[in-house]
Structure 1
């Protein structure tokens, strides 16, 4: 069962491309190689121009340069850092990708499969900074390169990054418990496992989506267009059987853009506006779920769904 309706956005696709392919050490150099790089123009929504002269630019160790120092909190290495970026090939200064004017990229610095050069370059930087990071193959895409973004196995890549925010995700919902309305499914949650959802016996499902806070979080409210990190379990009203859970995924969580039709209608409607830290129970009829087509083989077009969702982060 897939909660997404459409392919991942560019930022999510790039995040996948930035998964570990090299195996670098912990060295970070602050040398003169990046003096060959100039940054000009741009705005919050328009990418600046990143130029390299003379070409090529090549480094043997990850090298950083702070173009503009921020005044925010210091990145410690266990957060999700939200940023805008321009990715350039040091060989010829060709722009490989940028997300300026699009969805911000969220990098989980605690992930074991993140490119080593990215974590090295972001560690100890201050939010609000603009940073250049040059990464050799061993800290980037390895000797195999990355054909999808036209990086050869010998290429140094250069990231220009504007650090927007740093968020440490919660492990589970945190906040004030809320007594649910009568007649709703009962929920028991144990960390790292699929939630147990008990359907009230003999009760017909509601014909309209019901959203019920079980825990009211104290974090920032989720806005449409943000990426959220959640844990969730989904069950069928008719028999209480679990059809999907983030506990069964390698990451043990799920991330998606919310409020932009990337997930089922009920999620967009019920999760936007909720505070980070909240636990939300949703009872979802077919019209706000997967419609008459369902989501075979586990979900029929007539099935009412029950979700329990913990909102761990939004960025």
Structure 2
């Protein structure tokens, strides 16, 4: 979704820290225990608690490798899955912990994304859901030439990850499920393959005081939970004339939008409406200014008095 629809993305800093890649060479997974892997000690087996990780620093990492510490019982993840992980990040040079998601909550990753760490793209596919995995990464396969000053990582620092694979899912191409007849008087929607949806507003349509949530398709997937990363496709239009102001279909290189549900990363009308819905659902949302962009609007297309209409397909939650 474009910045016209988001409110703030500062809360996504952690996710960015985990996925922005230096575009280094990806190394194949290894079953052997190298000197680098042997320099790491991981204690603790409770998935609900962060493990204790000790690094015999400095660690020399000549190629990215991994070792399964605890094998899960779930399905093996594939190279294009959307995965949910817990992770501890450590600096291989000094052994210091840079971050732990056990303090902030699981993070969603797209293993098919071009900007994902090379170390994750090469080492996580094939691992089973529920596994705890140790990864020793070259600098190039992690933060690359830019390093990560926020995590006190330089371009020369190898990186140690301890990753719990919490879950994995595949993304839908579009909404799938049971069609629902919308209530009379609401805008109607015509989906156009590869193009923004057509949203037709009936004459005399009145703006609601609170957001209207009308399922057009009820999905059969799991319910979206607050804090999960949600992938959607969408089209947004103005209630006053049906004119489209934004659509994920206008970005063919990435015709979807990911955000953390219920975390204030999007307008409140979205946050309130999407949490609790099932993956595969298609929603018609009619959102008044107070739950959209407020009195300030989002110039030049959205005034402070504009009510918004969205059609949203929930493609995945992870």
Q: Is the 8 A contact 1:67 1:130 kept in 2?
A: yes
Q: Output the CA distance in 2 between the equivalents of 1:211 and 1:22.
A: 41
Which is further off, 227-236 or 292-301?
292-301
Q: Is the 8 A contact 1:66 1:129 kept in 2?
A: yes
**Change beyond 3 A, Cα 1:284–1:25:** closer
1:189-208 equivalences under 5 Å are 189-208=191-210
Counterpart residue number, 1:302: 305
Question: Are positions 1:288 and 2:291 aligned together?
Answer: yes
Counterpart residue number, 1:52: 55
| Secondary structure class of the residue paired with 1:292 | helix
Q: Output the CA distance in 2 between the equivalents of 1:255 and 1:210.
A: 22
Aligned residues: 312
Which is further off, 189-198 or 301-310?
189-198
TM-score, normalization by structure 2? 0.91
Counterpart residue number, 1:168: 170
1:174-218 residue CA offsets vs partner (Å, 9 max, x unmatched): 111111111111112234322111111243333332211111101
Counterpart residue number, 1:273: 276
Question: Are positions 1:260 and 2:244 aligned together?
Answer: no
Equivalent of residue 127 in structure 1, options 105, 126, 129: 129
Q: Is the 8 A contact 2:63 2:137 kept in 1?
A: yes
1:102-138 residue CA offsets vs partner (Å, 9 max, x unmatched): 2311110011221211111101111111100011123
TM-score, normalization by structure 1? 0.92
Counterpart residue number, 1:76: 78
Equivalent of residue 139 in structure 1, options 123, 126, 141: 141
Question: Are positions 1:20 and 2:17 aligned together?
Answer: no
Which is further off, 119-128 or 39-48?
39-48
RMSD of aligned residue pairs (Cα, Å):
1.9
Q: Is the 8 A contact 1:172 1:191 kept in 2?
A: no
Question: Are positions 1:103 and 2:108 aligned together?
Answer: no
Q: Which runs of 5+ in 1 are unaligned?
A: none
**Change beyond 3 A, Cα 1:224–1:147:** closer
1:262 Cα deviation from its structure 2 partner: 3.0
Counterpart residue number, 1:61: 63
Q: Is the 8 A contact 1:44 1:101 kept in 2?
A: no
Q: Is the 8 A contact 2:27 2:65 kept in 1?
A: no
| Secondary structure class of the residue paired with 1:58 | coil
Which is further off, 64-73 or 32-41?
32-41
Q: Is the 8 A contact 2:26 2:64 kept in 1?
A: no
1:43 Cα deviation from its structure 2 partner: 5.4
Q: Is the 8 A contact 1:74 1:126 kept in 2?
A: yes
1:41 Cα deviation from its structure 2 partner: 4.6
